[in-house]
Chains A and B, each alone.
Chain A
């Protein structure tokens, strides 16, 4: 089945760019997603990219997809302290989502 891998931690300074990486195994995912989870809360859908796209930009967020390498990344420009959270990538397959372990982003002032 699908396996989704992420690095567990990322620490950046306020104002810098953050890049969170994700690799996946199932190339049949139609869409790939990024979700944000703040402490004690549910998941907030940040953005998603159709599998035949290479890049999608939405304000401070840029998603890059390399289908050949099965690599997905989320870049957050001008990272703010409010961006501190856990970020999950997920691939869709058969109506289900398979999540990575989550990357904890820590933004230092």
Chain B
């Protein structure tokens, strides 16, 4: 149980284009989903927290107009990198948090999406 998928797993795009990444919880409903960015050999940097049906909460320094997040249902969140530039190249990982009585912080992670902007 607690499987999270991401699509696509890898994407290469031209500078200036937009890229959409999907995150799905496959066997549970996620009240909250998180989007992280990870640079090589580095820890995860939380970009934003999204709750179904409401606007995402962005971390300091993350441009909300550049990284659009939509959490349309309890099993799907999308991250759109708009007008992508080479510095946006990174590994993007989503996670989903089911509502558990024991812990509201337990997160299950997707396999990640490798974005390369040329």
Give the B-binding residues of A (Cβ under 8 A): 29-31, 33, 35, 40-45, 48, 50, 88, 92-93, 95-97, 99-102, 104
Contacting chain A: which of B13-21, B42-50, B79-87? Answer: B42-50
When the two chains form their complex, are residues A95 and B106 in contact, meaning their CB atoms are under 8 A apart? no
Q: How far is the CA of A31 from the CA of B112 in the complex (A)?
A: 24
**Is B104 located at the chain interface by the 8 A CB criterion?**
yes
Q: A interface, by DSSP: helix, strand, loop or mixed?
A: strand
Q: How far is the CA of A88 from the CA of B44 in the complex (A)?
A: 9
> Could you write out 30 A-B pairs with CB less than 8 Å apart?
A29-B105, A30-B103, A30-B105, A31-B103, A33-B105, A33-B106, A40-B112, A40-B114, A41-B111, A41-B112, A42-B4, A42-B6, A42-B93, A42-B112, A43-B93, A43-B109, A44-B109, A45-B106, A45-B108, A50-B102, A88-B44, A92-B103, A92-B105, A95-B32, A95-B105, A96-B105, A97-B34, A97-B95, A100-B43, A101-B42
Q: How far is the CA of A44 from the CA of B2 in the complex (A)?
A: 11
CB distance from A28 to the nearest CB of B (A): 11
